Structure formats: C-alpha cells, structure tokens
Amino acid sequence: MNWNTSTIENLRRVFTDGFVARDIAEFLISFDASTAVSEVAELMDKRNLDVVGVRKEGVVVGYVERAELSGKLCGERIQTIEAATTISETASFADVVLGLADSPRLFVRALGAVGGIITMSDLQKPPVRMWLFGMITLLEMRTIRLIEVKCKGDSWKQYLSESRLQKAEALLEERKRRNQNLELIDCLQISDKGQIIARNEEIRRLTRMQSRRHAEQAIKMLESLRNNLAHSQDIISCDWGTIVELCKDMERVIGGTVEVQRILEGE
C-alpha cells in the first residue's frame, strides 16, 4: 500500500467521518419535569433504564438516574447535563471513546438539542467493532512495511522461533494452493510481528515502545482485542485500556510520524 498524502487523507476521512456518534447512539427517553416519580420509575424498571432525560418547556435540560429517583415529581431530582458529557451526533468514534473514558455516559446533541445517549454497552455494537478492526489492520499493514524496509531480504526470520516460522510457511503453502500471490512475511501472525518489533531496536525506536518488554505487552494487548473482535467477544471488560490508547493515538495509527512516513514512502 502506498502511504502517500492522498491515501492518508482518505483514511482519515473514513475513520473520522465514516463512523460517527449517531451510528451507535440510543434515543434518550425523556419526561416532563412535572411527571410523577412513580410513572417514571415504572417505565425505567420495565425497560431496564439507568437514566432518562427531563424536559422543561419541551426541551431536555437535565436527567435523572434510577438509583437517585425519589420524591413526588421527577424534576425534583434533576441533574444538569454538563458540557463535558455532551457530544455532537457527528463526533468521531475516537471522541466517543475518550469521552466515555471520563464519564459513564454521553448525551448526544443534534440540531442544538439533546436527543440521544451513548453508554459503554453501545461500544459493543457492530459499527464500533468494524472501526476498531480496521485500525488494527492499518497497524499491521504499517508494521509489515516497516519490517520489509528495515529487515532486508528475510533477515527478520532471526527474530522468530523455528516453530513460528514453520507455521508461517505452512500457511503460505496453503494460500499458494488457493492461488493467492503472497510472500512469507504476509503469513505472519500479529504476535510474530510483535516479536520482530520487540527484538529489533531500530524498528522499535520508530514506535512508542520504550523497551522490548513494553513492546511485547502492547502487542499482547492488541492481539487480545483483535481476537475478541474476531470472535464477537466482550471487548470492554478485558480490552478497554487498549481501546482508549488506540483512540488517543489515532492520528499515529492512520498516518504515522513524519519519520515513519518518510520511511514508508521510501525516501
């Protein structure tokens, strides 16, 4: 893949504009502030809701939590929707993830008014899983290119055990049997690529991995996320830290640093 400026801009548009908050937001059920607590509590219990919006003059101005609901009218327990917990319907998934890293929920604003809500459970939805899998794929592609540039020929083989090389060779033979035009390096698993990065200091310096141990841990966490995505497993309870770090580092995932970019373009 030619990582030129046009390619990077196209990828940036896909990952920032192609997947946005409204794709996973749920409609925020709301009540007038004068609604009886008993009525609100009944619906929240029936639908298993933790939060509902509270309206004044037809506009959502706050919310109430089921655990805090008491008194006669739901407006008596209203909590203000802070600016830090609101997000545009067109906000990127990265902004959603980073917002949820600081708050248990985000209120989604459209046409100037709050009308939706996003919680951690919404990050399990297919659009988010597709988006994360795409970012991991980009990381793997960039890793392969770096290995090709920095490990001339097949010199990268020295960093892998004989058993790992045999598995890659077996996979290559199977793919050739299916008429797939690939090289041995294309048949490496994510853990194999991680070992090469961890053990090759020159490549590791082009990443944020400060040490071999750091690289091995980071790759292990990335592999866990990739496997859980591939097998439709829970990605929040085990992989939340990895997801947050990916989102913090999204620009680097998409485009790389100037130094890495120069290498990828063969300058």
**Tens-place pLDDT, residues 2-51:** 455 566 677 777 877 889 999 999 999 999 999 999 999 999 999 999 99
Report which DSSP code applies to 118.
Answer: E
Residue 261: what residue type?
Q
- All structural domains of the chain with their residue ranges: 5-122, 126-264
In a structure prediction context, what are the per-residue pLDDT tens digits for the chain, which is 267 residues long? Answer: 445 556 667 777 787 788 999 999 999 999 999 999 999 999 999 999 999 999 999 999 999 999 999 999 999 999 999 999 999 999 999 999 999 999 999 999 999 899 999 999 999 999 999 999 998 988 888 888 889 888 988 899 999 999 999 999 999 999 999 998 889 999 999 999 999 999 998 888 877 777 888 888 889 999 999 999 999 999 999 999 999 999 988 766 665 544 455 555 554
The yes/no answer on whether domain 5-122 falls in CATH 3.10.580.10 is yes
Residue 250: what residue type?
M
Alpha carbons within 13 angstroms on the beta-carbon side of residue 153 total 3
pTM for the complete prediction?
0.86
Report which DSSP code applies to 102.
Answer: T
Phi, psi of 106 (to 5 degrees): -125, 135
List the structure tokens of 204: 């590791």
